[in-house]
Amino acid sequence: YESLNKEKYTSASFQIYTDSYNIAKKIYADDSASSDEVSYAVSDLQNKYLALVFRGDKTELIDILNRAKEINCSKYTPKSIEELNAAFDTAYEVYKNKDAIQSSIDQAVSLVKDKIDSLILQANFDELWEAIQKVKQVNPKLYNKASINDLKTKYDAACKVFNNRNSTQSDVNIILADLQIAYNGLTEIGDIDGLIALLQEIKDLKWFLYSADGIKELKAQYDSAVELLNNDFANSNDVETMILLLIGMKNRLSQRTDKVGLYEYLLKCEKIDLSDKKTSTVKPFNEAYSQAYKTLYDLDAGEEIVAKSMAELQTAENGLKKAGLAWWVILLIVLGGVIIIGIIIWFLS
């Protein structure tokens, strides 16, 4: 016992051995001790000696902890550094435990070493940042919706990767490639404002003044142009082609002189004051006026029908007569005159 170096053993196991030693020492000094007591003391002391637990060698643990301290944390992702710090704290507790056994020390060394080996280098975000700024300068009005929507999806994903400091270089490279592909895939929409303005011009046309075939053809193309505006995949060629088609059809429209004449006559009739006209003449005029407008808006109305509506409206206008005074109004006037004359005669007499 005296020759043992107790620093080599754990405190608990050496204390147990010490207690057994002290008991054996007392029995040894007791001359009245029986042989059984002596045998038990010897056996127990031997067992406690064999049960002594060696303290572990911390040399490798100290080395790995020092290695961890020298790591430049700014080079690695926050998450991997957090994991290393947690492993370091666990291993340092083992280091502070003077009774730590070799298996615990080996486990701590392995834990820290694994986290060092698992450190993830922080990605280089420079190119991704430049690509994000480039995308932010894109004017979405210049490109079709499909390519803009695709670019927006990739842009949002790129911002998410950029804002995540735990992103790996692989994450950055993948999203950067996706963003560049989406940017290069932008499809120009062409003169979309010109198409919208042209459609408004066509919409404002007095379509009823033109020949039926030309208007129907233009309307069909107009509807196709509206569909094109709502087509997410439309490109500049589609838009330019549509503009040329619409302009060509618009320029080929021919006005019907009979419809123009009827329209101008209707505008003239709108200004007629019907308040002083006989009801019996106003009613046929209104009927002829309404029928003339129906004829005007009927693209398939032929020249004969237009001429008939014009003639009927002219006849109705010429038939308008001013309303005369009612009989009772005339009677009141006469009576009023008689009364006034009577008053004058009375006054003079």
Per residue in 285-301, pLDDT (tens digit) is 999 999 999 999 999 99
Q: Which among 259, 265, 273 is positioned nearest to 289, based on CA atoms?
A: 265
DSSP 130: H
pLDDT at 323 over 90: no
Cα gap 81→65, rounded to integer Å: 14
14 versus 346: the higher-pLDDT residue is 14
When pLDDT is averaged across residues 257-277 and rounded to a whole number, the result is 93
- Tokens describing residue 261: 């004449």
Sign of CA dihedral 128, 131, 133, 138: negative
State pTM to two decimals: 0.60
Cα gap 96→89, rounded to integer Å: 11
pLDDT at 174 over 60: yes
Q: What is the pLDDT of residue 265?
A: 96
Q: What are the helix and strand counts (H, E) for the chain?
A: 15, 0
When pLDDT is averaged across residues 182-210 and rounded to a whole number, the result is 95
pLDDT at 337 over 80: no
Q: What is the pLDDT of residue 333?
A: 63
The rounded mean pLDDT for the chain is 91
How many residues make up the chain in this entry? 349
